[in-house]
Structure 1
Amino acid sequence: MEDVTYTKGIYTATATVRPANSGHYQGVVSLARDDGEEPENVLYEVEATSATATEALEEAKALAHRILGELEL
């Protein structure tokens, strides 16, 4: 499954999926900040797991949108 990337100013959020316990999947968002100095990365996890990778990616994409929406440039 392909990662999905969103950008807002100096921030880049990458939504992806990783396997979780019991055959479920968890959505994950990596937030990178690149302001010309050393890049800063923060990892966010979707709290709930999903039965399919597609559902987990949709949850990760929604989380990425929420994170970027809360940022002030």
Structure 2
Amino acid sequence: MDDVTYTKGIYTATVTVRQLANGRFQGVVSLARDDATERETTAYEVEAPNTTATEALEEGKALAHRILGELEL
């Protein structure tokens, strides 16, 4: 499954899906600040795992939108 990327100002959120040991899937958002000399990245995980990768990706997208929506530029 391909990663999804969103950008707001100097921030880039990349959504990925990872499979857990129990066979479920979890959405993960990596938030990067692009203006720093050294790129700063913070990872956020969707709280509840999903049964399919598609559901996990959708949850990850929603999390990315919430994170980017809360940022002050």
Give the shorter-chain TM-score range. Answer: over 0.9
Rounded to whole Å, the distance in 2 between the matches of 1:3 and 1:15 is: 6
Q: For residue 68 of structure 1, what is the aligned residue in structure 2?
A: 68
RMSD over aligned CA atoms reads 0.8
Q: After the TM superposition, list the runs of 4 or more consecutive aligned residues in structure 1 that deviate by more than 3 angstroms.
A: none
Rounded to whole Å, the distance in 2 between the matches of 1:36 and 1:55 is: 33
Identity among equivalent pairs (%): 75
Question: Normalization by structure 1: what TM-score?
Answer: 0.96
Tell me by how many angstroms 1:36 deviates. Answer: 4.3
Rounded to whole Å, the distance in 2 between the matches of 1:22 and 1:52 is: 12
Tell me by how many angstroms 1:9 deviates. Answer: 0.4
Tell me by how many angstroms 1:67 deviates. Answer: 0.2
Rounded to whole Å, the distance in 2 between the matches of 1:36 and 1:60 is: 25
Structure 1 residues not aligned, in runs of 5+: none
Question: Normalization by structure 2: what TM-score?
Answer: 0.96
Larger % of helix: which?
A: 1
Rounded to whole Å, the distance in 2 between the matches of 1:30 and 1:10 is: 14
Residues 1:11 and 2:5 aligned together:
no
